[in-house]
Amino acid sequence: MKDKKIKILIIRFSSIGDIVLTSPVIRCLKEQLGGLELHYLSKRSYETLLSANPYLDKIHYLEKSMLNCISALKKEKFDYVIDLHHNLRTLWIKLNLGVRSNSFNKLNKQKWLLVNFKQNVLPPVHIVDRYLQTVEFLGIKNDAKGLDYFLNKSYNLSDLLPNTHLSFVAVVIGAQHATKRLPFDKLVELCKNITGSVVLLGGPEEKDEGEKIAEMAGLHVINGSGRFKLGESAFLISKANKVITHDTGLMHIAAAFNKPIISVWGNTVPEFGMYPYKTDHSKLFQVKELDCRPCSKIGYNACPKGHFKCMNLIQIEQIIKEVNA
């Protein structure tokens, strides 16, 4: 297999974190299979995550028409498809391409048991290692180098943070679902008590909240939520002294840059296998003793039970102690 030239398509449509978590599969395939032509299929909205990856020869995007996408992929004449998304759309693509494929095992039954009956029968294996299991049939082994993230532009820190101390802690205030996020008052308390400069990161939907946190926490806190694009936020993550984050995509980008990570967990749990991967310094904060947790493998807009204890009982003073150490 080492000297045989082959053509492989990897499929992963979303999301930020999941795509970053596929980076070891990309690297290991390209480095361990001689002469490999490696393609990737995703959504256009995630182009920033993939466009600068030197291990990819070509990137395809699922646009409006599935039929047009499949037609374009057929012309490539792939030898293998590595399906790291594994849903009905990827099944349709694989059936139409008609080549050998291998699919990521999502372990949905095991996750369902953990969420609904709090029975943990999930293997103690990180999702990256499970992604890599899909390519073991090609002789691929985990190179233990961790995650990759390649910036698609050159950035200047003083341009992004003018008139600001260039040594800072990044605090990721956003997450896709509300039950993954610390409440507003706890974020204010956290930021207020961090020694040194703080840069808040999040999407446009967190812009107003970030402004209020910065206003209440003090002049050392700068709101970057809604101000920076994903690539810029990734660059700032790479320059931060430490990163405080929820269970979200920027947590995995921080892991790719091997930053010291303090991750805060609400309704989801590290046992799902998506905690920071192969970092030198990672500290997890969670309320372990709750019998309602995890209540979902993804998250909700509000706590289903109304008390939100998984975040309300987080000991912010312990996080402050950890980040200021």
Distance between CA atoms of 313 and 311, rounded to whole angstroms?
5
Are residue 210 and residue 129 in the same domain, yes or no?
no
Residue 28 carries which side chain, given as an amino acid letter? C
pLDDT at 194: 98
Could you tell me the mean pLDDT of each successive run of 10 residues in the chain, 325 residues long? 78 97 98 96 97 98 92 97 97 97 97 97 97 98 98 93 85 95 98 97 96 97 96 97 98 98 98 97 96 96 97 97 97
Q: What distance in Å separates the CA atoms of residue 84 and residue 48, rounded to the nearest whole number?
A: 19
- 147, part of any domain: no
Instruction: Compute the chain's Rg from CA coordinates.
Output: 21
- Looking at the fold, whether 124 and 184 belong to one and the same domain comes out as no
Residue 80: strand, helix, or coil = strand
User: Whole domain around residue 62: which residue ranges?
Assistant: 7-138
The predicted pLDDT at position 252 comes to: 98
Question: Do residues 118 and 245 both lie within one domain?
Answer: no
What is the dihedral angle through the alpha carbons of 106, 107, 109, 113, rounded to the nearest 10 degrees? -120
CA distances from 189 to 84, 220, 241, 309 (A): 39, 13, 20, 17
Q: Is residue 152 part of a domain?
A: no
Q: Is residue 145 part of a domain?
A: no
8-state DSSP, 136:
G
pLDDT of residue 165: 67
In a domain, 227, yes or no: yes
pLDDT attached to residue 1: 47
**Per-residue model confidence (pLDDT) at position 166:** 78
Does 165 share its domain with 285?
Answer: yes
pLDDT reported for residue 229? 95
CATH number at 94 reads 3.40.50.2000
What residues have CB less than 8 Å from 94, skipping those under 6 apart? 81, 83, 101, 103
Task: Look at residue 1 and tell me if it is in a domain.
Answer: no
Looking at the fold, whether 128 and 164 belong to one and the same domain comes out as: no
Please state the domain count of the chain: 2
* 258 in a structural domain: yes
